[in-house]
Amino acid sequence: MTIERWEAVTQDEQAGHRRLDDPDMMREAARKVVSGRCVLFDFDGPLCRLFPDDSSKSLARELRGVVALRGAGGLLTQEARTSIDPQVVLRTVDRVRPGSDLVAELEKLLVRGEVAAAAIAPPTPDAALLVGRLAKAGVRVAVATNNSPEAVEVYLARVDLHKYFKGHIHGRTDDPRRLKPDPDSLQRALRELKAEPHDALMIGDTPTDLDAAREAKVAFVGYARDETEAGPLWDAGARLVVSRMALLSAMIPSSPS
Report the range of poorest mean pLDDT among 21-30, 111-120, 158-167, 179-188.
21-30
- State the pLDDT at residue 255: 67
236: left (phi over 0), alpha (psi -120 to 50) or beta: alpha
End-to-end CA distance of the chain: 17
Q: Is the pLDDT of residue 83 over 70?
A: yes
pLDDT tens digit sequence for 125-162: 999 999 999 999 999 999 999 999 999 999 999 999 99
pLDDT tens digit sequence for 204-221: 999 999 999 999 999 999
Q: Is the pLDDT of residue 28 over 90?
A: no
Alpha helical stretches, state H, 97-148: 101-118, 127-136
User: In the predicted model, what is the mean pLDDT of the chain?
Assistant: 91
Strand partners, 140: 38
Calculate the alpha carbon distances from 139 to 38, 46, 127, 130 in Å.
Answer: 5, 17, 15, 11
Q: Is the pTM of this model over 0.85?
A: yes
**Cβ atoms of residues 238 and 255 within 8 Å:** no
pLDDT tens digit sequence for 4-13: 544 443 333 4
pLDDT interval class at 22 (50, 70, 90): confident
Percent of the chain at pLDDT above 70?
92
- State the pLDDT at residue 51: 98
